[in-house]
Every structure is written in C-alpha cells, then in structure tokens.
C-alpha cells in the first residue's frame, strides 16, 4: 500500500467523458488499497476563455484580479472530478490550492511556492478518501489567490508529493514518457525507463517540452521521484529520480532538438568587459535570456559577438541591444538567421572521454561544421542549419548506440 500523488493535465480532463476516464483510472489504484492525492488542471480551453473575457474589459488587466479569474478553471475540475468519483463509489473530497495549504509569494500570475502546510490532506487520506487538489493555484500568507504560471499544475503535484512524503508522484500527460530523441524524427528512439533529475533538467531546457524546468528543479531539491506517463494508455512511463553518476553505463541518455532559435550578431562592439557586461545586463533586466555566446576579436579594438535567442524574443532583443549600442556609441546588431540547437545530455558524459569526438564525427558525416558550441558538465549543445537538423539528430542517435535497447 503506497501513498501516491497523481497529476492529470487539461487534455486528460477536457470533457465529461475524459473526467469519467480519469475517475476510472483513480478507482483502479484506490481499489488496490493505495492512498491517493490527485492534482488536476483546468479543462483545456477554459483558462483561455476566461482570459478572453478579461481582455474584453481591460487591455492590461490587473494581475491580482487575473489570478482570481484564472484559478476558476481548476476549481471547476476538482468539483467535477470528485462528483465523477462519487458516481462510481469512490469516497473523495476536493481541495483548492488555499485549502491544501499551498502558500506562495505575491508575484501574481507567476507566483513561487514558499511553503506547503498540506491542510488536512493526511487526515482525509486516513479516512480513506481520495483527495482531489486544484493544480496551478496557491494563496499568499495574507489570503490572496495566486497562480503559479506555466507548468504550475506539475509543480503543485511535486510540491504536494514532497510535503506529504509520497512514495511516488505520477505526471499523467499526453506523451508516453521521455525518449532518447523525438520519435517523430528518430523512428527507433527509445522510451527511457529512468533518467536523472540533471538529465531531465538539461532536456527540459533543450527543447524537450515534456515538463517545465522549475518542476524538475523542485523535485530534485526535495528528492521527489516522479514518473511521466500517458493518461491515454496503461504503459509504464519514464521515472525521473536521483541516479548515482558512478553507476552509469551509457555516456549519453538522449538527444534533444530546439528548432526555434535565432542567431544574433553584434558587430563593432567596444572590446572591453564593461561594454559586454552592459549589453547582457540590459538584456537580463528586460527578462531576455541568451544562449550559446561566442566572441571574436574584430578590427581596431572592436569585437564581434554572436549568441542565440528564442525566435519569439528576437524583436525585443534587437530593440534592447540597439539601445545599449547607442549608449556605448559604437556597434550594430542584426539577425544572422534561424538555427536549430541539438543537445546531447547524459550524466555519464563526464566520465566517458571521447564523447565530443563521437559527436563531431557524427555531425561531419551529415556535412555539419558548426561554430556555435556550448558545453556543461552533462550536456553539449551545437547550433545547426535547421534544414540539416533532423538528419543530424538521427546520425547522433545512432553514433551513441541509442538505437539499440
């Protein structure tokens, strides 16, 4: 008999039928004697409807009031899910974020969890009830409703699992688990049975959109093992947990691809640390993050800088950098076109010499000679011509032996 936290996303609870499916899945576990806390999202589409109504009244609605509004979707789902459970004979009770004691700071629409009291969750579980908790929402110490921003329901599930010391946290989603590469690109990509928090984090920040980094970071910090699995079949998913590096066999765990990056080139920047610091400070203050930076010395005491940003941020980046260059009195900024970013990730990488050699040989075999490269302890990322990206992913996947089970 285990204590399990399950999370179902917006697609999984998108209609009355699907809520009934989720209820049936819950009943199966509950019938085996497990204690269950279920975290649910808003029905897909509901939150967007609410936002549309707000925008009709105000171009820039107050964020505090947006939270009052956006928390409604999850509140609807908890009540409906409990009703569906009652209808099939499972005792259950709903809990809003506030009732579950999910306390946050007061940064509305993207609040951070500060503590979890858990409310009366353990007591209700002891009574034999399934407790259905609203994801994505919390409450400040002053009693104001907050929402947690993107990926908030995953975060709720992992935070609740940490606070009640659950044996397992299951994230039910619309993918089967975490793969060695995108199965739409690499036909024989394999679902990983397990993966470390570090690898999951690098994958999350490398275009593998299974989960937001913040949820994985939270799980790592509080050592909450969690499973990513599909709500539409009964196959086991991928278990994300702490893994001792020295026990690792394989050099790399997977290959990720991020298609939507733009390469930015800044020419004739004054070649001193203050100028470069000013440029990245201004970008940071505007909330814009850059990736894969390289610097070359130019002519006449100037330097040239190249870095990548996500394509949707390019216009703002151009404006901010342009303003900085005006202050500095020198330099020009332009887009050097779109790139894709291929990353290989693996905690074993550091203890396996020759990883970079294998990578570049594989890339060379499909005619790629990249100039933009970044590395971390467990990741190497390369900027690529988007036209060659799929072939590169396949070549790298094969070169590291990931095609075999």
Site of interaction with a second copy (CB under 8 A): 16, 19-20, 50, 53-54, 56-59, 61-62, 64-66, 68-69, 71-72, 75-76, 78-80, 82-84, 86-87, 93-94, 96, 98-99, 119, 143-145
Instruction: Label residues 90-104 b or e (16+ Cβ within 10 Å = b).
Output: bebbbbbbbbbbbbb
Q: How far is the CB of 156 from a second copy (least distance, A)?
A: 17
* CB-based contact 382:344 (threshold 8 Å): no
Nearer to a second copy, 25 or 397 (CB): 25
Residue whose CB is less far from a second copy, 16 or 277: 16
The packing angle between helices 72-87 and 16-31, to 10°, is 60
Pick 88 or 107: Cβ nearer a second copy = 88
- Of 53 and 221, the one with the shorter C-beta distance to a second copy is 53
User: Minimum distance from CB of 347 to a second copy (Å)?
Assistant: 44
- Closest separation in Å from C-beta 230 to a second copy: 23
Q: Are the CB atoms for 191 and 241 separated by under 8 Å?
A: no
Instruction: Specify the residue, 29 or 75, whose C-beta has the smaller distance to a second copy.
Output: 75
* CB-nearer residue toward a second copy: 75 or 330: 75
- 72 versus 125: smaller Cβ distance to a second copy: 72
Q: Give me the least distance between CB of 403 and a second copy, in Å please.
A: 46
* Minimum gap (Å) between residue 48 Cβ and a second copy: 14
Q: Which is nearer to a second copy, 93 or 216 (CB)?
A: 93
Least distance in angstroms from the C-beta of 90 to a second copy: 12
Three-state SS annotation for the chain: CCEEEEEECCCCCCCHHHHHHHHHHHHHHHHCCCEEEEEECCCCCHHHHHHHHHHHHCCCCCHHHHHHHHCHHHHHHHHHHHHHHHHCCCCEEEECCCCCCEEECCCCCCCCEEEECCCCHHHHHHCCCEEEEECCEEECCCCCEEECCCCHHHHHHHHHHHHCCCCEEEEEECCCCCECCCCCCCCCCCECCEEEHHHHHHHHCCCCCCCCHHHHHHHHHCCCCEEEEECCCCCCCEEEECCCHHHCCCCCCEEEEEEEEEEEEEEEEECCHHHHHHHHHHHHHCCCCCEEEEEEECCCCEEEEEEEEEHHHHHHHHHHHHHHHHHHCCCEEEEEEEEEEEEEECCCHHHCCCHHHHHHHHHHHCCCCCCCEEEECCEEEEEECHHHHHHHHHHHHHHCCCCCC
CB of 270 to a second copy, least distance (A): 44
Closer Cβ to a second copy, 77 or 196, answer by number = 77
CB of 55 to a second copy, least distance (A): 9
Of 142 and 246, which CB lies nearer to a second copy in the complex structure? Answer: 142
Closest approach, Cβ 76 to a second copy, in A, equals 6
- Quote the least distance from Cβ 350 to a second copy, whole Å: 50
Residue 226's DSSP bridge partners are 169, 240
């Amino acid at each position: 008999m285990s204590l399990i936290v399950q999370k179902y996303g917006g697609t999984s609870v998108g209609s009355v039928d699907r809520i009934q499916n989720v209820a049936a899945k819950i009943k199966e576990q509950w019938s085996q004697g497990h204690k269950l806390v279920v975290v649910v999202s808003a029905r897909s589409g509901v939150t967007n409807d609410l936002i549309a109504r707000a925008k009709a009244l105000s171009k820039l609605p107050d964020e505090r009031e947006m939270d009052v509004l956006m928390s409604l979707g999850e509140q609807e789902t908890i009540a409906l899910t409990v009703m569906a459970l009652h209808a099939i004979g499972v005792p259950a009770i709903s809990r809003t974020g506030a009732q579950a004691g999910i306390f946050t700071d007061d940064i509305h629409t993207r609040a951070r969890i500060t503590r979890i009291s858990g409310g009366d969750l353990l007591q209700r579980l002891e009574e034999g009830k399934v407790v259905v908790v609203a994801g994505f929402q919390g409450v400040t110490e002053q009693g104001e409703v907050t929402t947690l921003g993107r990926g908030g329901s995953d975060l709720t599930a992992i935070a609740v699992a940490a606070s009640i010391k659950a044996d397992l946290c299951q994230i039910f989603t619309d993918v089967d688990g975490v793969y060695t590469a995108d199965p739409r690109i690499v036909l024989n990509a394999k679902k990983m049975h397990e993966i470390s928090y570090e690898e999951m984090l690098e994958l999350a920040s490398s275009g593998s959109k299974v989960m937001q980094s913040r949820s994985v970071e939270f799980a790592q910090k509080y050592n909450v093992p969690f499973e990513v699995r599909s709500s539409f079949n009964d196959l086991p998913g991928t278990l994300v947990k702490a893994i001792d590096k020295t026990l690792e066999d394989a050099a790399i765990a997977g290959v990720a691809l991020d298609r939507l990056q733009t390469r930015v080139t800044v020419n004739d920047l004054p070649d001193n640390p203050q100028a470069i610091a000013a440029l990245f400070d201004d970008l940071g203050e505007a909330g814009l993050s850059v990736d894969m930076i390289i610097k070359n010395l130019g002519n006449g005491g100037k330097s040239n800088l190249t870095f990548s940003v996500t394509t949707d941020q390019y216009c703002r980046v151009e404006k901010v950098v342009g303003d900085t260059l005006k202050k500095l009195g020198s330099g020009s900024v332009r887009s050097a076109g779109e790139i894709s970013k291929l990353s290989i990730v693996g905690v074993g990488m550091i203890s396996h010499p020759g990883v970079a050699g294998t990578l570049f040989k594989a890339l060379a075999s499909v005619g790629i000679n990249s100039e933009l490269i970044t590395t971390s302890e467990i990741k190497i990322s390369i900027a690529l011509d988007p036209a060659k990206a799929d072939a590169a992913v396949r070549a790298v996947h094969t070169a590291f032996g990931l095609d075999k089970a």
